[in-house]
Every structure is written in C-alpha cells, then in structure tokens.
Amino acid sequence: MSEQPSPQKRPRTDADDAVSAPDPKTYKQSKIWMNYGDIILQVNDTLFRVNRDVLAKNSLTFRGMFDLPQPSNETQIKGCPIVLLTGDSPKDVELLLGAFYDPFYHRLKLQFDVLAASLRLGRKYEAPAFKQDAARRLHAEFPAILNVWDRRQVRERSNGLEMLRSTPGLYIDLLNLAYENGVYTCVPALALRCLSLYTLSELFAGIERENGSRAMLPDETKLTLARALEAIQLFQWHNLEWLREEGEPVPIEDHEFEQYDKCDYQRQMMCHLNVAPARVDITYLLEPWEKVAGGKWVGALCEDCEKAAKVEHNAGRQRAWDQLPIFFGLPEWKDLKDMD
C-alpha cells in the first residue's frame, strides 16, 4: 500500500511534472463526473470530475491541500485543475467518491469492494468517517469479546453477515483486508471463521469468486492458519478431556448403577468429537453447550451430569477464547491493538 499523504502536502498533479492536459483519446471519463465539478482527479488513465467542497468535507488530506496556495500554471480541463493521485486503482477511487456523494452510505449493507476502498483510501486520504465506518463493520462482524461473538453467531445463523453482503471467498478477502490495514483485533475471530468454513486445501488453493477470479491468501498467512489449526486441534483435544475416561467431571458417585451406565454410554457417544487431536472438529471450539452437535448434547445426560458437564464445557470455551489470538501468532487480547 502506498504511504499516507500528509495533510500539509498536496497530492502530485500533472502540472508538477510539466505535462499537458490529458488527451481525451487516451484518457477515459469515469462514472463519477459532476457537470458542475470544479476539480478533476486523475487516476492512471481515468478522470473524475468532482467538487472541492465534497472532497474537503470528507478528507483532511484534500482539505489541507486546498488550503495551500495553488500553482498559477496548473494544467486544466474545462477550467478545472487536475490532481494526479498515485498508487490507487481507479476502481477504489470510484467507490470511495461514490460513498462521498451517497448520503445513505452508512446505512447500507456493503459489498466487499466498497468496504475495502473505504478502509484503504479512508486511511490514506484521512477520511475518518469512512475509515471508522469500515472498521466498525469489521468489529461488529468479528468481535474481540466472547459474549458479543455468541450474539453475532446467533444472528449470522439466521441472516448471514449483518453489515456485509456475503459472496464466495468473502472471508479470505476480509482476512487479507484486516491484516493489510492493521485491524488486528478482528483477525482471531475472522481467521477462526476461515478455518471453520474451509479446509486447508481450499485455503491453500484459494476460493473462486463470482467473477471467476480467486480469493487467495499470502503464503505467510497460509502458514499461520496451518499452524493455528494444529494448535487448536491439540488444545481442543485437552479441552474435551472430560469426555474421555481420564476425565471425570460428572458426579457419578451419586448415580444408581443403571443411570451411571446410561450417562457413561452417552459420554462415549459424545466422545466421537474427540477421538484424536487431528480429527477434532474445531467448529465446536466456541459453541455454547446448547449448540454443540446441533443441540444433541442437551438432555443426553442426567440432570446432575449435564450440569457438571456444562460447567466444564463453558470453562473450556472461555479458555479457548482467551487463547484465540495466540493460536494465530498474535498477542493476547489485552495487548492486541489495531493500527492507527
């Protein structure tokens, strides 16, 4: 990603390079072309005609640029000075400018491309409302607090993602976006979702998007997820120890023989989730007792055994949540911070 322009410096213009006005035959007009706009942004071969007031209202970088004295020999098109933006894609700029002009932007369920442009360029051009809105959406979907995660999972089962439109490969794209833009407090929950939704083979090969391209992870992230999966499986193997013979949280000494036999049998049936570390189903790592195995654990044991098992399970969930950032090579929750 290119460095963030300073508010005290104006973005480079083609006038700075002493070039002539863009030839209409080699440059194309974007969808963002305001007939009464008073400035033109040039991004590669694409031109955007917009209003200074709109840019200044939404971006501290542009506001600072417009406060500086402007060169007298600026290249112009139709009386509008040209500002050259470097290091950006026309698509990202078009999406961000579209958001600048859309009064209902903050109420929308966004597509990934719009979210990504708002976060990337919101940081680069100091557009705080858009950067913060994008980060807020990520935090809402992938929280850093267990009970918020629980509430979010209930809503996601019913309605999918609340603030983002679901598309193939979305979670991989979101994980890349969080890493690239320093939204690190979302990475643990987001990375766990990737491991829960996709196999390692799928994560390494990439997921095909609707347009035929592939959502791909960098090699370093692939390695991080592979190591995390192994660590989570081993952790869960020990976390569910009470299901195996060496674990005994249930008050079996208070059972009559027939009831003990029933609960012991049920515990063996439940143990199929935990037969070996490499076969542990990590989707159960953070599931509430009522949701494990599709709710089949509820009522499987007698009242006393279920009460004891539920206490152990919930304690294990909290231990797992506390360890979640560490699985992915990040600091523990209290030390994990987003990049400014």
Question: How do the domains of the chain map onto residue ranges?
Answer: 28-134, 235-327
DSSP-derived letter for residue 30 is E
**222, 204 Cβ separation under 8 angstroms:** yes
Q: What is the pLDDT along the chain (340 residues), one digit of tens a residue?
A: 434 333 334 444 443 444 456 665 678 999 999 999 999 999 999 999 999 999 999 999 999 999 888 777 777 888 899 999 999 999 999 999 999 998 777 677 788 999 999 999 999 999 999 999 999 999 999 999 999 999 888 776 656 677 788 889 999 999 999 999 999 999 999 999 999 999 999 999 999 999 999 999 999 999 999 999 999 999 988 888 877 765 555 555 556 556 667 787 787 777 766 666 666 778 778 988 888 766 777 888 888 888 888 888 899 999 999 999 999 999 999 999 999 7
CATH superfamily, region 28-134: Potassium Channel Kv1.1; Chain A (3.30.710.10)
For the record, the structure tokens of 58 come out as 């939404």
- The pLDDT score that the predictor gives to residue 200 is 94
The DSSP 8-state label assigned to residue 111 in this structure reads -
DSSP structural state of residue 21: P
Q: Residues 135, 183: contact at Cβ < 8 Å?
A: yes
Residues 6+ apart with CB under 8 A from 17: 84
Report if pTM > 0.85.
Answer: no
Which amino acid would we find at residue 92?
D
- Distances in whole angstroms, Cα of residue 243 to Cα of each of 52, 117, 206, 256, 317: 65, 47, 36, 20, 15
CA distance 253 to 66: 79
Q: How far apart are CA 55 and CA 38, in angstroms?
A: 11
Find the Cα–Cα–Cα–Cα dihedral 275, 276, 280, 286, rounded to 10°. Answer: 80
**Which pLDDT tens digit goes with each residue over 240-298?**
887 776 555 555 555 655 666 778 778 777 776 666 666 677 877 898 888 876 677 78
Both tokens assigned to 118: 């708002």
For residues 5 and 121, give the distance between their C-alpha atoms in angstroms, rounded to a whole number: 11
Q: Read off the amino acid at residue 239.
A: N
pLDDT, position 57: 95
Structure tokens at 268: 């063996």
pLDDT of residue 255: 60
- Residues 82, 128, 81: CA angle, nearest 5 degrees: 10
Whose tokens are 């193997």? That residue is 237
pLDDT of residue 193: 94
What integer pLDDT is reported at residue 165 of this predicted model? 83
Measured at the CA of 9, the angle between CA 135 and CA 66, to 5 degrees, comes to 90
Residue written as token pair 């055994």: 305
Task: Say what the pLDDT of residue 160 is.
Answer: 66
Q: What are phi and psi of 39, to 5 degrees?
A: -155, 150
Give the pLDDT of residue 20: 55
Q: Are strands 80-85 and 76-77 parallel, antiparallel or unpaired?
A: antiparallel
Cα Rg for the chain, rounded, in angstroms?
27
Q: What is the pLDDT of residue 140?
A: 92
